[in-house]
């Protein structure tokens, strides 16, 4: 059985097999958690990202790729691109966000990961409403682990603010 939990933390400090980055399509870093991950991990991550973009082009919204974690304690980084709130309809935004979580979990499984930590994708600079994002994330992850309850021991939702932590803890309790 996979354990789902929510904690308040800086995702760059976690010694899990995979941490997920809320990146943009260029994969060249940015602000928010993306900036923190590139700073903490060092140049190895950017090097891997550049090779991916040179090979495959920009990463479409809802998709994910995997790189090394550089100097961070995590094993790998999965980079995924969440939807920018307001640029597509609500249903499509929810579908794209759910796809970020599913694609990331698929890559974690391919990398034989037992533990993965997610930030609250799209809820910062991309302005996705936090309650809808939390509901979408938990639904997508729960459905994935229901299909495959053996691969992952733990999925951690890493909240960087109290509002998200309360939302996730409430939703995970029921």
Minimal distance in Å, beta carbon 124 to ligand AR6?
A: 2
- Judge contact between 69 and 76, C-beta under 8 A: yes
> 69-108: which residues touch ligand AR6 (CB under 6 A)?
82
119 binds ligand AR6 (CB under 6 A): yes
Candidates 34, 75, 138, 167; binder of ligand AR6 (CB under 6 A) is 34
Interface mask toward ligand AR6 for 145-174; x: CB under 6 A: -------------x-xx--x----------
Look at residues 34, 49, 40 and name the one whose alpha carbon lies nearest to residue 71: 40
Tracing tokens 């809808």 back to the chain, one arrives at: 132
- Buried/exposed 104-138: b ≥16 CB within 10 Å, e otherwise: bbebbbeeebebbbbbbbbbbebebebebbbebbb
67 binds ligand AR6 (CB under 6 A): no
Contact 84, 129 (CB under 8 A): no
Active site (catalytic) residues: 34
Binding site for ligand AR6 (CB under 6 A): 10-12, 22-24, 30-34, 36, 82, 119-126, 158, 160-161, 164
């Amino acid at each position: 059985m996979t354990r789902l939990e929510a904690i308040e933390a800086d995702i760059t400090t976690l010694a899990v097999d995979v941490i997920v980055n809320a990146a943009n399509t260029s994969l060249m870093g940015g602000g928010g958690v993306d900036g923190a991950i590139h700073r903490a991990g060092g140049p190895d991550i950017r090097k891997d990202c550049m090779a991916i973009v040179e090979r495959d082009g920009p990463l479409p919204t809802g998709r994910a790729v995997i790189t090394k974690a550089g100097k961070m304690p995590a094993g790998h980084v999965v980079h995924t691109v969440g939807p920018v709130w307001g640029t597509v309809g609500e249903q499509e935004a929810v579908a794209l966000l759910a796809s970020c979580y599913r694609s990331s979990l698929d890559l974690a499984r391919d990398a034989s990961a037992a533990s993965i930590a997610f930030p609250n994708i799209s809820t910062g600079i991309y302005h996705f409403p936090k309650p809808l994002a939390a509901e979408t994330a938990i639904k997508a992850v729960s459905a994935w682990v229901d299909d495959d309850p053996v691969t992952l021991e733990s999925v951690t939702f890493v909240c960087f603010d109290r509002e998200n932590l309360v939302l996730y803890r409430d939703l995970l309790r029921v």
